[in-house]
Amino acid sequence: MNLLSRFKILDGQRLSKMNRSRGCAALTIPLLLPPDGWGEELSLPQTYSSVAARGVTSLSSRILSALIPLNDSPFFAFGMKDGSAPPHEVAAYLETLSYQVYRKLISTNLRETVFQALQSLIVAGDSLIMMDDDYFFCTYRLDQFVVQRDVMGEVIELLHLEYEVVDPNDIRFQSGDIEHINGFRTLVCQYLYNEETHMWAYHKEDSEGVVVAHGEYIVPPFAVLRWTAMTGENYGRSHCEDIIGDLKSLEAFTRAQIEGLAAASTFWIAVDPSGTTEVDDIAKSRNGAFVAARQSDVYTISPATTMTSQVQAASSAVENMRREVGQAFLSTGQAIPSGDRVTATAVRMIGSELETILGGAFSSIARTLMEPIVKRCLVQMLDDELLDQRLTEQFFDKDSTLSVDIITGLQALSRDSDLQKLMQMGEMVRNLPPEAIKTFRWDAYSSALISALGFDPRMWVKDEATVKEEADAATQQQMKNNTQGMVVQAGAQAAGQAMGGMAQQAMQDPAIAEQAMQTMQEGMQQ
């Protein structure tokens, strides 16, 4: 069985899933999952309301701002997989490493790709992000990939479609041996996990089953995302699927409102058939012309007088559904901060709102999306020798003994909460009496504060051994300085006594005084 046949089999097993997702796309942004068989030359379904489409865009932007904030600080941290505490120099290197990988990631098209993936995730429930060897990211729609998961929900097989331009000079193309559509041929890529080797086997075939490329990956170059994971299912449930009733109601009420307003705005000019006014005179006359007519014979007929209550009811229903749908997409919350940089406070507020309203979906997305991307980028940078190879190879291998901690979602919220409490504690301690302040452990406080800020305290706070060593060295230096001072003072005293004795002798004997003066002059010259 070639890979294309395998793809069609797995695709056929998710028919109900695709129908639900396409229904959600038709009510929001149809291009995110077009109807089956759709092509660029075909038109897409049009909605009567754009509230849901704007809601999808707004929610995607909020999640993106929380996942990858533009605050020049990594959204992840490196640590040892076994949970051991690395030495001080290793901890310092890990922090440097996180900034190196972060700067590489934000220099790519990661943000726009993640934004597109989030849109598909909200509407269809599933999305796929790939990263090539040139650090270029791309996203795939649900109809472009299939997955198989184990009982724990982990991906064990992935197949996705690629479309390649056929060389018109290729002999196989000219002879018709290559299947193609408008000059594009379909390729199928497969990633299959091997439980024994813990490696990912990679194969790429054309539609005829001819292998185009193959290889192995330690860290796969993809991230398969689900909005809401259901036990035993290979695919997720979308946010739009959860509120599909509100979306359908909004569409129905908006349609009724538009059609009602259109009907209410319609009117006709009527002429009394029993009157003396001729219909043709009214119909064929231009504006402002003189017409022989009786005013009582001409009047207008409009359904607006009888449809006012219906139109008002439809308008009221539309406004209520707009409000409900807007709340579901967080469109009625606080506006997303603008500018090139988003403060940590703004990120905290956005993350808190997302975690409260969306539940565990936000934290799950943060883990399943960002962790594979960071790991793949790190491995690729090692292969490209963009990192310190000597230091890296000393602590890491290609089997990856490091762990990636994503510091967004619940972890970021918990850390920020700890930071706020520590800041309050510091203000309280400063207001305590001096006797109480002396007993406060400022070293433990500073370590906890630095940890809440997302840094390793061992880089900034000296351990007890270092403090004791420096204290002992300072004590020894002080003792040495004191000893030297005592020696100098004793020497000065002895010299003074000697000079005093010579002065007494000089007073008694002028020759001794003359000799002493000569000795002093020679010493000054030297």
Q: How confident is the model at residue 130, as a pLDDT?
A: 96
Lowest mean pLDDT among 213-217, 346-350, 365-369, 438-442: 346-350
Q: What is the DSSP string of 289-300?
A: ------GGGEEE
Provide the pLDDT confidence category of residue 296 given band limits of 50, 70 and 90.
confident
**Mean pLDDT, range 212-218, rounded to an integer:** 92
Helix (H, G, I), strand (E, B) or coil at 192: strand
The CA-based angle 316-321-322, given to 5 degrees, is 95
Q: Is 138 exposed, middle or buried (0-12, 13-18, 19+ CB in 10 A)?
A: middle
DSSP state string for 448-471: HHHHHTTS-HHHHS--HHHHHHHH
Q: Specify the pLDDT at position 336.
A: 52
Predicted local distance difference test score (pLDDT) of residue 249: 93
Least reliable range by pLDDT among 122-126, 306-310, 325-329, 366-370:
306-310
Calculate the CA dihedral of residues 104, 107, 109, 114 and round it to 10 degrees.
60
For 449-475, what is the mean pLDDT?
Answer: 69
- pLDDT digit string (tens) for 122-179? 999 999 999 999 999 999 999 999 999 999 999 999 999 998 876 666 655 555 555 6
**Higher pLDDT pick, 367 / 360:** 367
- Please report the DSSP string for 399-438 in residue order: T--EEEEE-STHHHHHHHHHHHHHHHHHHHHHTS-HHHHH
Q: Identity (one letter) of the amino acid at 331?
A: S
HSE-CB for 361 with a 13 A CA cutoff: 23
Collapsed DSSP state (helix, strand, coil) of residue 271: strand
Find the range with the poorest average confidence among 210-224, 231-245, 351-365: 351-365
389-424 pLDDT tens trace: 766 666 665 555 677 877 765 555 555 566 677 777
Q: Give dist(CA 316, CA 325) in Å, integer.
A: 14
- pLDDT at 343 (0 to 100): 55
pLDDT(433) > 50: yes
pLDDT for residue 521 is more than 90: no
Per-residue pLDDT, 505? 53
Check residues 71 and 338 and name the one with the higher pLDDT.
71
Least confident of 151-165, 235-249, 362-376: 362-376
Q: Determine contact, residues 3/203, Cβ cutoff 8 Å.
A: yes
What share of the chain in percent tops pLDDT 70?
Answer: 72
Residue 340 has pLDDT above 50, yes or no: no
Q: For residue 112, what pLDDT is reported?
A: 94
CB 78 within 8 A of CB 32: no
User: Which one is predicted more confidently, 414 or 449?
Assistant: 449
Q: Cα separation of 182 and 165, whole Å? A: 9
Strands 402-406 and 76-80: antiparallel
Q: DSSP character for 275?
A: S
Band (pLDDT 50/70/90 cuts) for residue 16 is very high
Instruction: Give the DSSP letter of residue 30.
Output: G
Tell me, what's the pLDDT at 461?
64
Task: Supply the pLDDT for residue 471.
Answer: 78
Residue 264 neighbours by CB under 8 Å, 6+ apart: 302, 303, 304, 307, 308, 311
* Mean pLDDT value of segment 215-221: 92
d(CA 168, CA 176): 11
How distant, in Å, are the alpha carbons of 148, 217, 218, 351, 426 from that of 192?
10, 10, 12, 35, 53
Least-confidence region, from 265-274, 338-347, 386-395: 338-347
pTM above 0.75, yes or no: no
Q: Look at 274 and 32; give whichever has higher pLDDT.
A: 32
- Average pLDDT over the chain reads 79
CA distance 246 to 525: 105
Distance, in Å, from the CA atom of 156 to the CA atom of 200, rounded to the nearest integer, reads 9
User: In this structure, are residues 21 and 238 in contact, taking their beta carbons and an 8 Å threshold?
Assistant: yes
Per-residue H/E/C for 329-362 = CCCCCCCCCCCCCCCHHHHHHHHHHHHHHHCCHH
Pick from 86-95, 97-106, 280-289, 471-480 the range whose average pLDDT is largest.
97-106
Q: What is the pLDDT of residue 305?
A: 62
Q: How far is CA 445 from CA 441, 450, 457, 461, 469, in A?
A: 6, 9, 11, 10, 22
Q: Name the residue among 86, 84, 87, 129 with its Cα closest to residue 110.
A: 129
Largest CA distance in the chain: 164
Q: What is the percentage of the chain residues whose pLDDT exceeds 90? A: 32
Of 67 and 215, which is predicted with more confidence?
A: 215
Long-range interactions of 182-187: CB distance < 8 A, separation 24+: 186/4, 186/161, 186/162, 187/161, 187/162, 187/163, 187/212
Task: Return d(Cα 19, Cα 270) in angstroms, integer.
Answer: 50
Across 275-303, average pLDDT: 81
Q: Characterise 400 by phi-psi region: left (phi > 0), alpha (psi -120 to 50), beta (else).
A: left
Decide if pLDDT at 279 tops 80. Answer: yes
pLDDT at position 512: 52
pLDDT at 105: 94
Look at 114-123, 230-239, 240-249, 466-475 and tell me which has the smallest mean pLDDT.
466-475
pLDDT band at 10 (very low <50, low <70, confident <90, very high): very high
